[in-house]
Structure 1
Amino acid sequence: MSTLLAMFVLGLAASTFGAIVGLGGGVIIVPALLLLGPTLLGMKIDTAMAVGVSLGTLVCTSFTSTLTFVKEGKADLRSALFFAISSGPMSMVGASLTALFDPDAFRRLFGYFMLSMVVLLLLRSRIKPYQGKWRYVRAYTDADGTQQEYGFNALPALLIGGLVGLIAGLLGIGGGVLLIPAMLLLFRFPPHIASATSMAVIFVSALFGSGMHIIRGEWDWLLVLALAPGALLGGWLGARISRRIGSVLLIRIMCGALLLFALRIILT
């Protein structure tokens, strides 16, 4: 019972935080499984297994959070579709590569990249907005009645979606760590729309990626089922909490989460 309770708390905490900022929660689940496996579960969990279990948990998190965001009118499913078209298949590619090489060098390089994204997000207000024309334009009216326009072109969205899927399948982190900065900096998504739409894309990436890990045998149904109840509740709870957070504070929380994630993978 104590182990099941610990897994529930882990799934709840990771998924609640992940849904609030649109990262998914894999940044917490993967290292937790790797570090706590021997003491908490009495077994050593390798990287491929941890990634597979994390992606399975992300399916639950992103499912309930996306449903909640859709009901609140926050998730832009049409935009999510463009990213998901390439993120789904590429997550399968990433999943198939997880056990084929030592990802330490890639993780550190990606960590330094994330540090640069944090700096850009903090300087977001000083960066000159993209002046080109978007093929697909969206409009969003915030709680104050201010209307904001954002948009994207198909090719950049597909390319970024592919990278998101590759990272999701390879590292089991959902891909929001790349998608969120791209949405905010390149396509000028409002913060709440970015986090909600990210969760919809993560659902597709996690679904495809976890499917590949099941095929490869890098999967543990008992671990996924133990984490699932907390993840389902956390996805819903995180989406509910997110709507109570202002845009400026949400950006700061995102930056803090990305900074902690970047430092962790660089230093470990």
Structure 2
Amino acid sequence: MDWLLLVVLGLVAGTFGSLLGLGGGIIVVPALLVMSDIIPSFAGITPQTAVGTSLLIMIFTGLSSTISYTKQKVIDIKSGFIFFAGSGPGALFGVWLNKGMETNMFLIIFGLFMLFIAFVLFVRNYLKPLPVKRTSIKREYITELGESRNMDFHWDLVWASLLLLELYQGCSALAGGSLMVPAMILLFGFPPHVAVATSMFMILFSSIVSSISHISLGNVEWLYSLALIPGAWFGATIGAAINKRLKSNTLIILLRFFLIIIALRLIWQGIQECRENSW
């Protein structure tokens, strides 16, 4: 029964992770922590092992998603490599910070972070685009309506943003994708579908970097991973297929409310644990 539960968890995480460009850790880590409290056989899971195991699973979610989105021709591979070039140091530093993290603060901080991201997505239509600079990287995309759209990446903003983005992913195994997709949409002008697909492409490589560090620290539950990987692989394929059929606004709405629901759940659980510890 425990193995079946993990397979289903991997399937759900892979589907939503691929659909919204979040990677799946947004579901796997909180779920493993909750399971450790209510299911005796999972009692040994800590925030660190939940994060390390999730990052390992995200490699396979990212690979499966990348294969699917490559067939759809919606990944901006050049931009993905540019973003990844600035993400490695942040991810490694996040792994180092993760070593001393406590469960209750982990849940509260990440929940508040997700609420912030959801708020930014709500006001995105009121944000003005950044002025074009000569040193910017210019990209052109064709929207789902067949319209041509030009975008510019500012080097200083790219490196500053990516260091923060992957610092969160290395620290939590969750926030990298949660912040990456909104950042590409809000700061760099990506169409939502391209942002999701490129995020999963980037998550594939950043997860490999972070996983190596977590494996060396002994933060991976290998038996759980063997059950999670098959579900995550097929779930990622399903998520990419669903993504293809959704309109951009629908994708943004799903991302907003998904982040809010999970954020409130994590904050509530973190507060409950703080109260229990204080007693």
TM-score category of the 2 structures, normalised to the smaller one: over 0.9
- Decide whether the 8 Å contact of 1:89 with 1:208 is kept in 2: no
Q: Which residue of 1 aligns with 2:35?
A: 36
Helix, strand or coil: the match of 2:235?
A: helix
Q: With the length of structure 1 as denominator, give the TM-score of the two structures.
A: 0.92
Distance 2:266 2:26 in 1: 10
Distance 1:39 1:12 in 2: 20
Q: Which residue of 2 aligns with 1:147?
A: 148
| CA positional deviation for 1:142 | 2.4
State the Cα RMSD in Å.
1.9
Which AA in structure 2 matches 1:117?
Answer: I
| CA positional deviation for 1:169 | 1.4
- Decide whether the 8 Å contact of 1:74 with 1:196 is kept in 2: yes
| CA positional deviation for 1:138 | 1.3
Distance 2:81 2:64 in 1: 18
Distance 1:40 1:142 in 2: 49
Q: Which residue of 2 aligns with 1:19?
A: 18
Say which is worse superposed, 102-111 or 6-15, in terms of deviation. Answer: 102-111
Q: Which residue of 2 aligns with 1:87?
A: 87
Say which is worse superposed, 216-225 or 150-159, in terms of deviation. Answer: 150-159
- Any gaps of 5 or more consecutive residues in structure 2? 270-279
CA distance 1:40–1:59, shift in 2 (3 Å):
farther
| CA positional deviation for 1:17 | 0.6
| CA positional deviation for 1:36 | 1.1
Distance 2:104 2:162 in 1: 23
Distance 2:23 2:16 in 1: 8
Distance 2:254 2:110 in 1: 20
Q: Which residue of 1 aligns with 2:132?
A: 132
- Decide whether the 8 Å contact of 1:47 with 1:99 is kept in 2: no
Distance 1:111 1:187 in 2: 25
Distance 1:119 1:86 in 2: 26
Q: Which residue of 2 aligns with 1:116?
A: 116
Say which is worse superposed, 35-44 or 178-187, in terms of deviation. Answer: 35-44
- Any gaps of 5 or more consecutive residues in structure 1? none
Aligned residues: 267
| CA positional deviation for 1:108 | 3.4
CA distance 1:215–1:203, shift in 2 (3 Å):
same
CA distance 1:42–1:198, shift in 2 (3 Å):
closer
Q: Which residue of 1 aligns with 2:264?
A: 263
Q: With the length of structure 2 as denominator, give the TM-score of the two structures.
A: 0.89
| CA positional deviation for 1:11 | 0.1
| CA positional deviation for 1:103 | 6.6
Distance 1:142 1:47 in 2: 40
| CA positional deviation for 1:266 | 2.6
Distance 1:224 1:43 in 2: 16
Identity over aligned pairs, percent: 38
Say which is worse superposed, 140-149 or 234-243, in terms of deviation. Answer: 140-149
Helix, strand or coil: the match of 2:87?
A: helix
Helix, strand or coil: the match of 1:243?
A: helix
| CA positional deviation for 1:64 | 0.7
Distance 1:108 1:101 in 2: 12
